[in-house]
Structure 1
Amino acid sequence: MDYRGTGASDKPDVPYSTRGFADDAIAVLDKLGVDQADVYGTSMGGRVAQWVAAVYPHRVRRLVLGCTSAGGVHGIERTNEVRRALVRPDSRTALVDMMYTPGWRAENPGPYTTLGDHGMPPHAVRGHLLASNSHDAWDVLPDIAASTLILHGDDDVLAPVANAQLLAERIPQARAHIFAGARHAYFEECRPLSSSLVVEFLGQSCR
């Protein structure tokens, strides 16, 4: 599914929010006739997935949150140095470095397809940035009823790893797994292990 403002989805010039993206995800499930789903979101998708699971608990069987944050005053935000790097003319180079370790890049030279939609119109780019920056799901995290697996790399500067423990403590049925040495794109660099953890988690009987 492409979020509004990206890919093949409409790109209205209206305010965007992670809560609104969650409603969009539910609208897609409704259209497909899917009453309940396993939800796996990373980064911005993890922020959206928090709302999906908290506001629509009966629609989520199991939840996986990757390299993400609760946002707001309780979230551990990236440093100003990282923020500045992301708005420089060479931001794509900086982003690749934040996503993958040098050793993994040497063995996997790209192209990297997890760096976002570079065809987004300027208003959509701004809208997504504001949606991410204004995300704050802290108050509703205890409403998440689904068993939850939290995954994170411990060398992640885009979403510092301290966020994983905060989420694990705030969500009732949550546990966290941290990938040593991994950056933001742990799901690619640590794919064999991360995928097996997710598959095993999703295959377990619900409590």
Structure 2
Amino acid sequence: MNSPTLHRVHCPDAQGGHHMAWWAWGDAQAGHLIVCVHGLSRQGRDFDVLARRLVARAAEQGGAVRVVCPDVVGRGESDWLKDPMGYQFPTYVGDMLAMLAALHQSATISTLDWVGTSMGGLIGLSVAGLPQLPLPAPVRKLVLNDVGPAVQWAALQRIGRYLGKSGPYETVEQGAADMRALSAGFGPHTDTEWLALSRPMLRQRAEGGWRMHYDPAIAVPYAAMSETSAAEGEAALWQLYDHVSADTLVLRGGDSDLLSPATVAAMAERGPRARAREFAGVGHAPTLVAPDQVRVVLDFLLP
């Protein structure tokens, strides 16, 4: 399968509900499901390279896997919320539960793994760490890509300075160049790799040109966050982490300004006692496109 199929699920909210989209790869009837969830301003097509390789690795092993890459609400092909304050983790986790229920109904999920980059990792931390959630199967393996319970405040401020303020652009190439300037932490990529990462990030405007794929209002609750509230959230995230029973791997960009070495060390000593891998020459966050990054995830999920 060289291209994914697009699916949607209706999710409840106080304004009458919304639809969340996801991209599906592999065998739709496979019992082994791997969920890959993107970062704050990204979308599910970020995982095209990884998803293809996961499907291929499973086939090489004589098995099959189902890989789903959601567009978190407000991003990609998912609806935009009527109330921007809904762009927070309770909504995101609820939407993932709705998606998992729909997938389980279509084909029984016997094994559930999770790969989450930044925000997607924190959503996964909630799914894996909240007791008594109605999951079709417990999270077996959890990959936290450049994120942990403690997030550096300076990095959150950096992200807030550009969130919701990019574009419009006259051409796709102009948009890709702007995103490349903002995303130096993603590490080195060829022009072809970067265009592949950037094209799904842009949408045509009725008046001409291109805009970012996401609802600019995702920045509203983000802007309301303070250093105090971030510290309070950190305490809650550590509680979730300590309840995780999944085999856990934390990835870190060697130059990351969001995930500190001290946090990674603490994650190795408590809760699921995560294993760690660091990628030199990369900041926040590894894109899981480079062969060495992909290989680490493949070897963890499908050894």
The TM-score, its normalising length taken from structure 2, stands at: 0.54
**Residue of structure 1 in register with 2:7 after alignment:** none
The answer (yes or no) to whether the contact 2:288–2:294 under 8 Å persists in 1 is no
Deviation at 1:51, TM superposition (A): 0.5
Question: 1 or 2, which has the higher helix percentage?
Answer: 1
**Residue of structure 2 in register with 1:123 after alignment:** 217
The answer (yes or no) to whether the contact 1:46–1:65 under 8 Å persists in 2 is yes
Please tell me the residue identity of whatever aligns with 1:86: Y
Change (3 A) 1:97 1:85: farther
Change (3 A) 1:89 1:48: closer
Instruction: Say if 2:183 is the partner of 1:183.
Output: no
Change (3 A) 1:83 1:168: same
User: What CA distance in whole angstroms lies between the structure 1 residues aligned with 2:115 and 2:156?
Assistant: 28
Aligned-residue sequence identity (percent) comes to: 27
Q: CA RMSD in A?
A: 3.2
**Residue of structure 2 in register with 1:155 after alignment:** 255
**Residue of structure 2 in register with 1:113 after alignment:** 197
Change (3 A) 1:18 1:168: farther
Instruction: Say if 2:154 is the partner of 1:78.
Output: yes
**Residue of structure 1 in register with 2:117 after alignment:** 42
Change (3 A) 1:93 1:62: closer
| Bigger RCO of structures 1 and 2 (CA < 8 A, at least 6 apart) | 1
The answer (yes or no) to whether the contact 1:153–1:183 under 8 Å persists in 2 is yes
Change (3 A) 1:193 1:130: farther
Unaligned runs of 5+ in 1: none
The answer (yes or no) to whether the contact 2:267–2:273 under 8 Å persists in 1 is no
Please tell me the residue identity of whatever aligns with 2:99: V
User: What CA distance in whole angstroms lies between the structure 2 residues aligned with 1:157 and 1:112?
Assistant: 25
The answer (yes or no) to whether the contact 1:70–1:138 under 8 Å persists in 2 is yes
Please tell me the residue identity of whatever aligns with 1:10: D
Residue in structure 2 matching 1:26, options 79, 97, 102:
97
Question: 1 or 2, which has the higher strand percentage?
Answer: 2
Deviation at 1:63, TM superposition (A): 0.5
Please tell me the residue identity of whatever aligns with 1:142: D
**Residue of structure 1 in register with 2:292 after alignment:** 193
